[in-house]
Amino acid sequence: MIKFNLAQATRLMLALALAGFVAAPAFAVVIETGAQQSVTSTAQISASQAGPSPLFISLMLRKLKCKTGENLDISVSWEWKDGVKISRPMYPQPWGDWVLISSQEGKAIQKEKGSWQRIDKLKIMTFMDGKVEIPALAANFQVPGQPPVEYRSAVVTIEVEPKVNKKGELEANLRDIKNPIWMVSFWQILLALLVAAVLLVGIAWYSKKVGLLGGAKKLEPIRPPEDVARERLKSLKESDLLTQGNFKAYYIELTDILRHYLEGRYSISAPDRTTAELMKELKRILERKDILTLRDLLERSDMIKFAKGSPDSKEIEIDWNVVKEFVEQTTMVYQNSLNTEIKSNLENNHDLSKNGNNITTPGSKL
């Protein structure tokens, strides 16, 4: 790298421009201007283009020396002519042996007619000592009518001195990693509170619905299926569906009573089955004559419900009696079977108790 004063650098740039010097980048010049030093790079498009370069980049540093772990301030000045398209500079992380602490992109301002400038502010730091290079920056620019050109700035070398403590001892380049800090924003806290509130409202609503709050809901005892069927049959007979001529609603209710009774008595899903499916299920439960009787009733009811038939009063009474008699007969059979089972269990328990008196237990005397 060559050092020039300001006058020498200016004369050299004018001479190279007049000669149509070709380079990308063309050259790098270190200009000493008091306390601040600038590493300046220029780039030109082609030898046929005379005059100032369409892109002029200055890498400006206040000092070319620093210490390990110390921030180094850099200003990157971009100057270009009207019509030149420049890609945003890529400030890498990490930047060679340097860590990019912060970068602030400047605002493009018009220096003079047809000329623009933008200055970016960077802070970098390294824990390496000795001569540490700042790698080149890469950016693309394009002049109208010309292909894009990649520009790479000059590589700058910084003299990095090891940092010493008050005792004159060298400090280690590497420091212990601090524990992570949990950062929570106001909006995250607000969102968490809203979610918690929604959950509490949902739990309270569900608890109230199922009776967990405000006292447990009183459980209704399960009624025997024959009691439910008798009550519904009585209500159906006392209804005014027949006087209104609403035979469809009457037979829907009649068959629904029968189906729910079958479900409660024999634990089958009778309300959801078709007539054919229900008859197939009842073959393993009822006798053949009962199955035929129920099939005739259900098929006749289907004809009335879907074909809108009009049965006479005698048929209606017969159908009601079929359901009523079926409920009473099967209930009696169930009760007899239950009584027999209870009696048998009592006799078995009595026999076991009687035999138990003659059993010799460990430790007993004969």
Does the pLDDT at position 36 exceed 70?
no
- Per mean pLDDT, which range of 49-63, 82-96, 300-314, 321-335 is the poorest? 49-63
Among 177, 122, 197, 128, CA closest to 157: 128
Torsional class of 323: left (φ above 0), alpha (ψ -120 to 50), beta (otherwise): alpha
pLDDT tier, 78 (very low <50, low <70, confident <90, very high otherwise): confident
Torsional class of 153: left (φ above 0), alpha (ψ -120 to 50), beta (otherwise): beta
State residue 17's pLDDT score.
44
- For residues 62-70, average pLDDT: 85
pTM exceeds 0.75: no
pLDDT tier, 252 (very low <50, low <70, confident <90, very high otherwise): very high
State residue 169's pLDDT score.
59
Report yes or no: 264 and 232 within 8 Å, Cβ to Cβ. Answer: no
pLDDT digit string, tens, across residues 131-173: 988 888 777 777 788 888 777 777 888 899 887 766 655 555 4
State residue 239's pLDDT score.
93
Query: In sequence order, what DSSP letters do the residues of 150-197 get, joined into one string?
Result: EEEPPPEEEEEEPPB-TTSPBPPSS-PPPPP-----HHHHHHHHHHHH
Report yes or no: 122 and 114 within 8 Å, Cβ to Cβ. Answer: no
